[in-house]
Chains A and B, each alone.
Chain A
């Protein structure tokens, strides 16, 4: 069966420090992969999605970037974190873009 792993679960980082969040999927090939952010009291904001290795679509301009170095690995990065980057980051995968998504357990990022 397919599983999605996301880590770390929580992270506290100082302003200006770099960020790397990792997401991996097992049990499937060529998944569509997504990064969402959920700020406190707000809905889900799609940050990036990828339909294949090296293919990244960015939905909003921001201080973050994403990479897909392997078929089932999706990484969210920042060179210098801002206070506004705090939030709950969720990775998800799907068979196609229009299908239902399976979400990871999320990473709570607090920038201090």
Chain B
């Protein structure tokens, strides 16, 4: 069945890189997404990657996709205190609602 797994917590020092990992189970996924949720707010789409890509870079964000292992990661370079939030990974398959992970709470220590 469909399932998206993420570790629940990550703590990094300001200026270091953060790597948030996600595994998914459905090999027919078409797009994979990363969302950010700040306290008390809705989810904001950060970036996404199409399933036929291995990597996508967008400023401080790098998404890596290993289709063989069904593993997705989000790397945030030079992590800032404003990056503290919950990060959700989600997979899409055609014609079904997105499946979200439980979210990784990133804490940035000054």
Binding site for B on A (CB under 8 A): 6, 34, 42-44, 46, 49, 59, 90, 92, 94, 96-106, 108
* A98 touching B40, Cβ below 8 Å: no
Chain A-chain B contacts (Cβ-Cβ < 8 Å), number: 58
| Listed A/B pairs (13) with beta-carbon separation below 8 Å | A43-B88, A43-B101, A43-B103, A90-B42, A92-B42, A92-B43, A98-B95, A98-B98, A99-B31, A100-B31, A100-B48, A100-B92, A103-B35
**Who on chain B is nearest to A98 by CB?**
B92
The distance from the CB of B62 to the nearest CB of chain A, in whole angstroms, is 18
Interface residues on B, range: 20 to 34
- Nearest chain A residue, comparing its CB with the CB of B93: A98
Neighbour of B96 across the interface among A43, A90, A98, A108, CB < 8 A: A98
Q: Is B59 part of the binding interface, using a Cβ–Cβ cutoff of 8 Å?
A: no
The answer on a CB contact under 8 Å between A105 and B42 is yes
Complex Cα gap A101–B103 (Å): 16
Query: Which of chain A's residues have a CB closer than 8 A to the CB of B103?
Result: 43-44
> Is the Cβ of B100 less than 8 Å from the Cβ of A43?
yes
Q: Quick one: closest B residue to A6, CB to CB?
A: B42
Give Cα distance in the complex from A99 to B48, angstroms. Answer: 10
- Which residues in A have their C-beta under 8 angstroms from that of B10? none
A103 to B35, alpha carbons, bound, how many Å? 10
Are B40 and A101 in contact, CB atoms less than 8 angstroms apart? no
Complex: A97 Cα to B43 Cα, angstroms: 17
Chain A residues with CB under 8 A of B31? 98-100
Other CB < 8 Å A-B pairs besides A43-B101, A44-B88, A103-B44, 20 of them?
A6-B42, A34-B97, A43-B88, A43-B102, A43-B103, A44-B43, A92-B43, A94-B98, A97-B97, A97-B98, A98-B30, A98-B31, A98-B95, A98-B96, A98-B98, A99-B31, A100-B92, A103-B42, A105-B41, A106-B40
